[in-house]
Structure 1
Amino acid sequence: MVPGAARHATGDTRSAGGSTRAVTRTLSDDPLGGTVRRTVLPSGLRVLTEAIPAMRSVSFGIWVAVGSRDETGPQGGAAHFLEHLLFKGTRKRSALDISAAIEAVGGETNAFTTKEYTCYYARVLDEDLPLAIDVMCDLVADSVLNDADVETERGVILEEIAMHDDEPGDEVHDLFARAVYGDHPLGRLISGTEETVTPMTRRQIHGFYRRRYTPPQIVIAAAGNLDHAAVVKLVRQALRGTPLDTDPAVPAPRRPAAPTVRTKPAATLVESKETEQAHVLLGCPGIDRLDERRFALGVLNNVLGGGMSSRLFQEIRERRGLAYSVYSYASQYADSGLFAVYAGCAPGKLDEVLELTRAELARVAAEGITGAELARGKGMSKGSFVLGLEDTGSRMSRLAKGELLYGNLMPVDELLARVDAVTLDDVNALAADLLGRPMSLAVVGPFDESAFSA
């Protein structure tokens, strides 16, 4: 549980562990949000909702605690392949039935796969929520994965991989992950590769589906103009008689943070391509998502490269005009993380961009940031978080990620207080640690590795 984030409950019917009855709680929240409730079904599947009566829409998502890091090497891309296939038809609906049902009411559906989870979601008018629940639960619980659909979608995914290879600005991020994590699943492509996707069989994908998509691993979240009890009832009806209608079980715990992922020594990887622009990432292993320093990291990232007023943007773009795009970012996983600076520039300017970036990182590591930068970085963190809650989709995501990734839902006021509590010493101590680490380098452009041997 995230320290300082209390969950208050009312109306418990009995303990959730293996219960034969659904267990519902009202979670404490704050004036910036609606009423949040959580129900654990007997199967171990969790349903969370945030009722926002002022909205006329609802975002509904099914989140599965399965991502690309759960694949073995030969399975590379199975989670992403499955995400595509679940929209291809169930015992009740064809692929056209699925898309037409939601589009006929002006709604939208989509899905995405990450390294640690997969999400299927729909956004509809509040009056069409029963339809969205039935369709989305059907496709996640009861897809048939026909052989013909596997072959059709294999071709689509291979085209997606080829398209990704033609986007050097995207490719450099994958190259950087490989530089830091090597052959660990966190270092592999979410989509898989041509070598892993081409031979993958329907039997392998179906086995992955049924082993991994189980009720204890699933969180359903919805936000908007809704009634919690009605959502729970509709979900139970939609799942009745499907493979997700299982014996009593307890929800799966969040992904463990130990053992810590072993990263590679600092490395340089270059993908040689005749591009008009060089794409570069310079960075190092970061911190995991439950690290107490994550709030300080958010502030530090804002100061370094989180916006137009950041040090790197001002130095590299505004003062010298060396790059159009330059920013820093942090990625966090259950047991590891990344911190990196990205820049896209003319190949002839890459040496200068790297020199300036390294110098700025070293300066912040040695000297820290200023009080004015601390205040600005905290303001950016708080503002971006609150402004990000302006739509039902972001609120739905907040519910699911709180449950799936953190094991609780931190109230908005509590989160803002945690940012406010970050001190100059906190940020400077983290900067000295993080930015003093050996840096890995990933480059996509008209170079070979010998150009960076120094």
Structure 2
Amino acid sequence: MLFKGTTTRPRGFVDRDVEGVGGRMNAGTSLDYTFYHAVLPAPRAVATIEMLADISVNSILDETELELEKKVVLEEMRLSEDSPQRHLARQFYGVVFGSHPYSRPILGTADIIQTLTRDTLLAFYRRHYVPESFALVVVGPVNPTETLRAAERTLGRLPRSGFQRLSGSAPASLTPKRVDDPRPGAFAYLGMGWLGPRLDHADTPAVDLLVSILGQSRSSRLPQSLRERLALVNSVGSDYTAYEAGGVIMVTAQLEAPNLARAEAEILRVVQRLREQGVTDAELRRAITQAEAEHAFRSETAEGRARLLGHAETVWRLAEELAYIDRVRSVTSEQVRLAARRYLDPERYGRLAFVPPAR
């Protein structure tokens, strides 16, 4: 909605002022924050700061445009549900996070979107889109003095609202839960998971490496055991997402429905062996190398670097982001084993399976 016109910029300003000079502009929302990003030629940096400041406080939120945008969001919801992997991940948060706000879908529900009014949207906009909530990140071959002056002249002059952003409460301890959800399709999809440490926790680097060793490459333990050795799954992997108030560790697999019980048991056996025996030096070195490569890839462009720094400045700390890879490099094999014992309890986990109907 913020791209649909402001009090001084008519509808279509993105096409004219951004795409018309070879740039692009978009937005996204996570469970912790919303971000707006633009990639344009460096000489357009000041004009882009002015544009971002304008849409941040002067968007008109036209009612006709709102009704059109609601249809777009409802279609996004439908498409997400069409993808078993994406839908599993989203539904799984409800299993792991329980009543915590992280269990709620980012897009909301169809009922909420359908009944959303301009008055409700405008009230949210006025409450949350205030200078105390903004973080501006500019990366590229720009003039620092001119850039700072532009920020001070625009965002810096906005009247303060007194709004204070509250830190999110930590999720309660996980209540073991098992859910089987019938879903048409050729394959079953299995999700198993645990609560993990929050973004700024001292254990976060060790858990990142733990999850990499578990299932983020073909040589990781879960793919080697479940796919290559036992042929129980078509694919299997692990993931760890750290948020401001908590984190989630997930193992997901695509497989034939008759293999669900055996696959779940084997995943738990792999986890238990890791808890008891730890990881090898070779596994740790590979995981650290993979973390270094992924971080370098995410930050190799101006856009990627801006996103990393903006994320840190908004819900983390900039100094922690800049030092993170060094912290990863300092993790020991014993710290990874202790992280497995602390977070991967084979007796307490959430489980969600999409199961095709019997043939």
Question: Normalising to structure 1: TM-score of the pair?
Answer: 0.74
On the 8 A contact 2:31/2:106 being kept in 1, the answer is yes
Q: Evaluate the alpha carbon distance shift between residue 269 and residue 175 of structure 1 in structure 2; reply closer, same or farther with a 3 A threshold.
A: farther
Q: Classify the secondary structure of the residue corresponding to 1:328.
A: strand
Distance in 2 (alpha carbons) for counterparts of 1:172 and 1:370:
32
Q: Classify the secondary structure of the residue corresponding to 1:390.
A: coil
CA shift, 1:403, in A, is 1.5
Q: Deviations over 1:342-379 (max 9, x none)?
A: 11223333333323212211211222212221222222
Question: What amino acid sits opposite 1:428 in the alignment?
Answer: R
Question: What amino acid sits opposite 2:236 in the alignment?
Answer: V
Distance in 2 (alpha carbons) for counterparts of 1:344 and 1:100:
45
Q: Classify the secondary structure of the residue corresponding to 2:136.
A: strand
Q: Are positions 1:426 and 2:339 aligned together?
A: no
Which structure carries more strand by proportion? 1
CA shift, 1:239, in A, is 4.6
On the 8 A contact 2:95/2:177 being kept in 1, the answer is yes
- 1:203 alignment partner in structure 2: 119
* 1:193 aligned to which of 77, 91, 109: 109
* 1:246 aligned to which of 159, 167, 185: 159
Q: Evaluate the alpha carbon distance shift between residue 94 and residue 271 of structure 1 in structure 2; reply closer, same or farther with a 3 A threshold.
A: farther
- 2:176 alignment partner in structure 1: 266
On the 8 A contact 1:105/1:128 being kept in 2, the answer is no
Distance in 2 (alpha carbons) for counterparts of 1:368 and 1:193:
42
Which structure carries more helix by proportion? 2
- Pairing of 1:404-415 with structure 2 (within 5 A): 404-410=314-320, 412=322, 414-415=323-324
Distance in 1 (alpha carbons) for counterparts of 2:180 and 2:11:
41
- 1:104 alignment partner in structure 2: 20
Q: Evaluate the alpha carbon distance shift between residue 239 and residue 408 of structure 1 in structure 2; reply closer, same or farther with a 3 A threshold.
A: closer
On the 8 A contact 1:98/1:135 being kept in 2, the answer is no
Distance in 1 (alpha carbons) for counterparts of 2:43 and 2:232:
52
Same amino acid, percent of matched pairs:
25
- Pairing of 1:318-329 with structure 2 (within 5 A): 318-329=228-239
Q: Deviations over 1:133-165 (max 9, x none)?
A: 232322222101111111111111111112212
- 2:277 alignment partner in structure 1: 367
On the 8 A contact 1:303/1:373 being kept in 2, the answer is yes
On the 8 A contact 2:187/2:256 being kept in 1, the answer is yes
On the 8 A contact 1:221/1:399 being kept in 2, the answer is yes
- 2:92 alignment partner in structure 1: 176
- Pairing of 1:326-337 with structure 2 (within 5 A): 326-337=236-247
Q: Classify the secondary structure of the residue corresponding to 1:222.
A: coil
CA shift, 1:263, in A, is 4.3
Question: What amino acid sits opposite 1:287 in the alignment?
Answer: P
**Unmatched 5+ stretches in structure 1:** 1-84, 449-454
**Unmatched 5+ stretches in structure 2:** none
CA shift, 1:410, in A, is 3.5
- Pairing of 1:106-185 with structure 2 (within 5 A): 106-185=22-101
Distance in 2 (alpha carbons) for counterparts of 1:421 and 1:300:
14
Question: What amino acid sits opposite 2:167 in the alignment?
Answer: P
- 2:208 alignment partner in structure 1: 298
Distance in 2 (alpha carbons) for counterparts of 1:189 and 1:271:
18
Q: Classify the secondary structure of the residue corresponding to 1:220.
A: coil
Distance in 2 (alpha carbons) for counterparts of 1:380 and 1:428:
19
- 1:28 alignment partner in structure 2: none
On the 8 A contact 1:107/1:124 being kept in 2, the answer is yes
Distance in 2 (alpha carbons) for counterparts of 1:397 and 1:409:
15
Q: What do you get for the CA RMSD once the two structures are aligned? A: 2.2
On the 8 A contact 1:295/1:422 being kept in 2, the answer is yes
On the 8 A contact 2:232/2:259 being kept in 1, the answer is yes
CA shift, 1:321, in A, is 4.2
Distance in 2 (alpha carbons) for counterparts of 1:299 and 1:286:
13
- 1:286 alignment partner in structure 2: 196
